[in-house]
Structure 1
Amino acid sequence: MKLNLSCWGCMQEAAPEAAGEKAVNVRPIGNSCFYDLTCPYGHQSYVLIQNAKFEILFQSGLQALNAGYYREAISSIAAALERFYEYSIMYCLCEKLFPGNAVAPEEAVLDKVNAFWAPISKHSERQFGAFNALYYDRFDESPIQFDGKFLKKHGLKLKKEPIDPIAFRNLVVHQGYIATREQAIAYAEAVNKYIHTLARRYWDRNQQWLYNMTTVDARLTAKQMGYSYQNGNIMGVDKITVATAINTFIRVTDENYILGEPSVMQLIK
C-alpha cells in the first residue's frame, strides 16, 4: 500500500492549477504516523497521517482483496480488528486522557497510559481482556462479541465450517488455509460490520473523543522520536508539520461512515 503525500511547500509556491502533480510524493505505508518528507524541490516537512492504524490496515486488506490476494487480505483485516481493540481501549480511557475540555493529552497522562499498555502490548489475549473490562466500565454492559452469533445476526456466512470467525481467521493465518474470494469478502464485511457497530456506539457516547483520539498517536510517536508534539507541530525541528488524512473506507470520524450503512461491496471490483 502506498501513500500520495502532498508537499506543503510546493502547494504554496505553485499556482493552484499546477500544484497537483508537482506536489504529490508517493511513499510506501509505514508503521509511524509521521512521514519525513523531502520533495524533489528540496522542501522539507513532516506529514502527520491522522488515520487510526486499524483504518489503514483494513484499507490495505481491501486492496489485497481487489488484487486477488485473498489470504493476505484476511491477514490484514484480522490485524485491523486487533488494532481496533487497542483503539477501543484508548477510547475507554478518554476521560483520563482528555479531562474537562482538553483536546490533547498531557505528557504525564501519556506516561501513565504507556505504563498501563506496556505489559499487554505484545499479548493479544490480554488486550482483548482489557477491552472487555474497560468497555464494561465505560458502558455498563459487555461489548458485543465478534463470533458466530454476530455473523448470523447480520446474515453473513464464511461458507466454511466452523462458522466462528476467530476460528476461521486462525485457519487462514496459522494453518495456511487459502481462502476463496467469497470467503475473503464475507470476512471483510463481518469485520466492517463489527467495527461500524461499536464505532457508532462510541460516536453516540462522545464523538469529540473520536476527534481527540487523532492526537494520541501523534503525541506518543513524537515522544518515541525524542520530540514533543504540541499545537499541531513537532517541537524542536526546523520543519513544518502538516496534518492530513488519507481516503479510507473505514473512517470513524466521518459521519457518512458512522451514520450510514457501509458495505465493502461498495469497493469490491
Structure 2
Amino acid sequence: MACLSHKLNRLEVGMMLDIIKAIILGIVEGITEFLPISSTGHLILVNEFIKMSQTTQFTDMFNVVIQLGAIMAVVVLYFHKLNPLSPRKTHVEQHETWVLWFKVIVAVLPSVVIGLLFNDWMDAHLMNWQVVSAMLLLYGILFIVIENRNANRQPQFTDLSRLSYSTAFIIGMFQLLSLIPGTSRSGATILGGIIIGTSRYVATEFSFFLAIPTMFGASLLKVYKYFSNGGAFTGLQTTILLTGMLVSFIVAYFAIRFLLNYIQHNNFKVFGWYRIILSIIVIGYFGFLAH
C-alpha cells in the first residue's frame, strides 16, 4: 500500500508540474507572439529547460496550438473593428471592414500555399537552434538598419484603409519568411510593412489581423496531423492544452496593448538589440554549454 501511495503521489506531482510548465509556456507564448522577437525561438529555448513529461508529438502540437489563445486576444481587442456585421457601424464602415478582411485574405494566401507544400520539410530540416539563432541575429540587425534608414522618412501609409491589395500581398510575401523558425511572424510582417512605407502602427495592426487566419490555420493543420498520426488527448493533456491557451490569451492581451502604446512613441530598435542578444545566448548555450 505504501508503495502504491508513493507512486500515486509521484504521478500527482508529475501532473501538477506539467500544468505549471504549461502556464510558463503560455506566458512565454503570450509575450512573444506579437512582439517581433520570435515566439518559436523562445519556446525552443524554454522547452530545453522545462520539458513536459508528455510525448514529443503532443509537445510539438502544444507549442503551436497554444497560439490560438494569443490570437483570441486580438479578436477580443479588435472585435468591433473586425466585425463587418456590427449594427453600430454605418454601411460605409461595414464595407470598409469587409475590404480589410479581403486584404487580409490576399495577404495570407502565400503562406497558405507554401506552408501546406513545405510544412513537413521545414519542421524536419529547419526546426533547430542553428537556424533559430541565425534568424534571430539576421532580423535583429535588419530592424536596427531599417529603423536607422527610416529615421528621417515619413511613412506613405498612415491608415489601414489606404493599404492597397498589392501592398497587402507584398506584406503577405514577407510573412512567408516567418516560416523559417526564429524569424518571427510579426517581425517579418512588421518589417515588410515598414520597408514598403507603412507607419509602425499600421504595420503592427495589419500584422495582428494577418495572424488570425494564419495561426488559426496552422493550429488546425497541426491538430489534424496529430490525430491522423494516431494521437489522442488524455484528460491531463486536455487540461494542459486549455491551461496554456488561457494563459497565452491573458498575457497576449496585455502584450498587444503594451506594444501599441510603445510604438506610438518609440521605434523597433530595442527589439532588434534584444534579438541579437538572444541569438548570442542561444548560440552560447546550445553550441557550447549544452554539450
The alignment's TM-score, normalised by the length of structure 1, stands at: 0.29
The alignment's TM-score, normalised by the length of structure 2, stands at: 0.28
Structure with greater strand share of residues = 1
Q: Which has the higher contact order (CA 8 A, sep 6+)?
A: 2
